[in-house]
Amino acid sequence: MTDRDDPVQAEILARLAVSRDELRRLLDPPRRESEQGSQTGDHGDHAFPRSRTMQMLMGGRGLGVLGALAGGLFIARPGLALRLLRMLPTGTVARMLLAKSLGALREGKNASGGTPR
């Protein structure tokens, strides 16, 4: 490279660093304390699922969307669906689904006027 290109390259690298910082700030915003508690629930930082995307999918509506996608995949390509199913940590997923279903049953009883335990 020539000496003429050094300032141009330095300017390009500086602009790239600024744009990387902006993207990092936009894609990974700092969590507020109230959000962090509601997203992870009683789970610690190392509980399943760790990513915010999976936490969103495993919450309320996301679980229905995930079920619809899984059903569609199973109908369209059963072999691929079964291979993907084998890759899941089944024990952890089963415990989580059981906890969610029991929690939904408890909320249903409490909302219908039943006596809480």
Alpha-carbon radius of gyration of the chain: 23
Q: What's the distance, Cα to Cα, between the start and end of the chain in Å?
A: 76
How many helices (H) does the chain have, and how many strands (E)? 6, 0
Going from the C-alpha of 71 to that of each of 21, 32, 62, 92, 93, the distances in angstroms are: 39, 35, 14, 20, 17
**Contact present, 110 and 116 (Cβ < 8 Å):** yes
pTM of the model: 0.35
Domain positions in the chain: 48-111
Name residue 63's amino acid. Answer: L
Full pLDDT tens readout for the chain, 117 residues: 566 778 889 999 999 999 988 888 877 766 655 555 554 444 455 667 777 777 777 677 777 777 888 889 889 999 988 888 888 888 887 888 888 888 888 887 776 655 555
